[in-house]
């Protein structure tokens, strides 16, 4: 039976819906997909139907993800394959809290507050919520027992894993109240939501994300990571971003062994955070990554922990786990203070307002620099990029990643369009749009820009914009790769008597290209 499973999963990897690479694969398949037998449980994504009768647990209603014992999954997969309802299979791999080391008991010194400007102005009252997805919160701790605006989205437990102090510690850094005891979080008045990921597996993280999305948009903190890329976890995070939440993740604590990726930090549309020390240098343990966005203090951070772990209820801890909630709290603070901003503006504002502390511009150690709350509160925000995530065709077509297609930029009755958008080399190097091509008409697209971008116009048959070779030639209407800042122009003529939707792809031509602002103009004519 295991041989059948491996063949089946290999077929999934070879399916036309799998993304090919442009420069670096945007969605590589995880090695763990071929070895679910090494784990007690598997995740099975269905296009329809239920696995409840087989003992399955629904993990994500939005994405149709079920958790099953691995032996049950192996038994069920041939029948599910015959029915054509399986979209993906992954192991339910464990996550690890991204804590490095612990040091002395708390002595009352929160040095990090001045480093990020948290002491320069009072934070606002309750506003944009924070959601902590982690091990359970100790609701009896003096920091949280009477804390207002604290909501438990799931049952909280302190017995699921040996790391059960971690959720309380992370929560305290983000939002411990000003109550005359212990410490004060970066945003003490925040609306605080807690979702316990229990055994800290991919399925439990996805389930906690579902609970967070059910409660409404928030700034979601993930101070944890898994070793192998999970496409299902990535899709749940993209769903969170699509529905208005900002996800913050710790980059990891494995610098000294080569900085292997720790997911979800490398995913696009995730605010990825490194740790710095008291001298504003990258911490010795903080992983380096091209996916980094900014950094925050993560060395000798005073945190609250359950009394079952220490007699004082407080400790100093090190790790990117504690840099991330500083950014999470600060992001909710800025979003609350600037309520007119779209969440995509807040996301990039936190990055672009950071104080450069290493090599000029972006670097793999600290991202764009050290969190700077005063600058984020006052700096001009970038323009809204409200069509995100639209990195590939599957994110904008019906029954792709989402059930409903995104609104097209042109449609029957509206055959012209003009709008601005932007690209970013690490978080958003690709924008894909649907546009309508009426019968017996020609559609022309002009992209004007402030730096170099390229443009492709794809046929309805294209499943992804990352096709290569003969498949690219077969599915491409037109391409424009003019160098420099000259406008990019593509067009398509529909000679049939039926209209159709094509896909416009605007992207950065080089992996390390500068971020770009551009304007798309679409016109439709008889010729």
Spatial contact of 305 and 314, defined as CB atoms under 8 Å apart: yes
Residue 354 structure tokens: 């950071």
How far, in Å, CA of 415 to CA of 410, rounded? 5
How far, in Å, CA of 201 to CA of 153, rounded? 18
Q: Which of 38, 188, 60, 205 is nearest to 127 (CA)?
A: 188
Q: Catalytic residue, from 41, 141, 166, 269: name it.
A: 166
What is the enclosing helix (H) or strand (E) of 203? Answer: helix 202-215
How far, in Å, CA of 166 to CA of 305, rounded? 7
Q: Catalytic residue, from 41, 92, 134, 287: name it.
A: 134
How far, in Å, CA of 476 to CA of 399, rounded? 22
Spatial contact of 400 and 393, defined as CB atoms under 8 Å apart: yes
Which position has the token pair 């924070």?
130
Annotated active-site residue 505? The verdict is no
Which position has the token pair 């109550």?
179
Residue 387 structure tokens: 């069509």
How far, in Å, CA of 234 to CA of 226, rounded? 12
Spatial contact of 239 and 210, defined as CB atoms under 8 Å apart: no
DSSP conformation letters of 272-321: EEEEE-TTSSB-TTPPP-TT--EEEE-SSEEEE--TTT-SSSEEEE-SHH
Q: Which of 160, 186, 163 is nearest to 175 (CA)?
A: 186
How far, in Å, CA of 172 to CA of 345, rounded? 27
How far, in Å, CA of 327 to CA of 334, rounded? 10
Annotated active-site residue 141? The verdict is no
CA angle 468, 269, 110 (to 5 degrees): 145
How far, in Å, CA of 347 to CA of 344, rounded? 5
Which position has the token pair 């983000």?
174
Q: Which bin fits 156, alpha (ψ -120 to 50), beta or left (φ > 0)?
A: beta
Give the number of other Cβ atoms within 10 Å of residue 513's Cβ.
Answer: 18
Q: Which of 363, 95, 350, 69 is nearest to 230 (CA)?
A: 95
How far, in Å, CA of 221 to CA of 246, rounded? 9
Q: Catalytic residue, from 321, 348, 365, 431: name it.
A: 321
Annotated active-site residue 134? The verdict is yes
Looking at the annotation, which residues are catalytic?
134, 166, 321
């Amino acid at each position: 039976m295991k041989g059948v499973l491996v063949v089946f999963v290999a077929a999934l990897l070879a399916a036309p819906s799998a993304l090919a690479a442009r420069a670096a694969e945007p969605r590589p398949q995880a090695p763990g997909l071929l070895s679910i037998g090494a784990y007690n449980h598997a995740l099975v994504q269905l296009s329809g139907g239920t696995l409840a009768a087989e003992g399955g647990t629904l993990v994500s209603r939005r994405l149709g993800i079920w958790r099953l014992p691995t032996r049950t999954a192996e038994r069920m997969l041939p029948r599910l394959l015959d029915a054509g309802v399986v979209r993906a299979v992954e192991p339910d791999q464990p996550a690890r809290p991204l804590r490095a080391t612990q040091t002395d008991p708390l002595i009352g010194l929160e040095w990090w507050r001045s480093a990020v400007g948290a002491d320069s102005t009072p934070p606002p009252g309750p506003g944009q919520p924070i959601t902590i997805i982690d091990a359970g919160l100790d609701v009896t701790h003096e920091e949280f027992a009477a804390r207002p605006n604290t909501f438990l989205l799931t049952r909280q437990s302190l017995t699921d894993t040996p790391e059960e102090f971690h959720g309380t510690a992370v929560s305290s850094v983000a939002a411990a109240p000003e109550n005359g005891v212990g410490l004060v979080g970066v945003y003490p008045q925040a609306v605080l939501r807690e979702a316990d990921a229990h055994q800290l597996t991919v399925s439990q993280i996805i389930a906690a994300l579902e609970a967070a999305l059910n409660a409404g948009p928030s700034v979601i903190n993930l101070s944890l990571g898994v070793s192998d890329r999970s496409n299902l976890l990535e899709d749940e995070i993209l769903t969170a971003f699509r529905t208005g939440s900002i996800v913050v993740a710790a980059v990891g604590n494995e610098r000294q062994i080569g900085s292997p990726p720790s997911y979800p930090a490398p995913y696009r549309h995730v605010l990825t955070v490194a740790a710095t020390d008291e001298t504003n240098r990258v911490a010795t343990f903080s992983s380096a990554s091209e996916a980094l966005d900014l950094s925050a203090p993560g060395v000798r951070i005073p945190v609250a922990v359950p009394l079952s772990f220490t007699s004082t209820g407080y400790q100093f801890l090190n790790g990117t786990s504690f840099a991330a909630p500083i950014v999470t709290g600060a992001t909710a603070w800025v979003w609350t203070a600037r309520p007119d901003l779209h969440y995509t503006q807040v996301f990039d504002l936190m990055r672009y307002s950071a104080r450069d502390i290493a090599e000029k511009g972006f670097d793999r150690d600290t991202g764009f620099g050290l969190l700077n709350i005063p600058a984020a509160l006052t700096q001009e925000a970038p323009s809204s990029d409200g069509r995100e995530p639209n990195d590939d065709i599957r994110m904008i077509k019906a029954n792709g990643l989402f059930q409903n297609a995104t609104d097209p930029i042109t449609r029957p009755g509206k055959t012209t369009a003009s709008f601005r958008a932007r690209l970013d080399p690490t978080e958003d190097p690709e924008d894909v749009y649907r546009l309508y091509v009426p019968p017996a008409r020609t559609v022309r697209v002009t992209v004007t820009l402030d730096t170099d971008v390229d443009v492709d116009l794809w046929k309805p048959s294209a499943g992804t914009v990352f096709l290569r070779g003969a498949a690219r030639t077969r599915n491409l209407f037109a391409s424009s790769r003019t160098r420099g800042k000259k406008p990019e122009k593509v067009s398509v003529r529909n000679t049939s008597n039926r209209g159709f939707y094509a896909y416009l792809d605007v992207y950065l031509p080089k992996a390390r290209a500068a971020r770009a602002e551009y304007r798309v103009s679409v016109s439709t004519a008889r010729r």
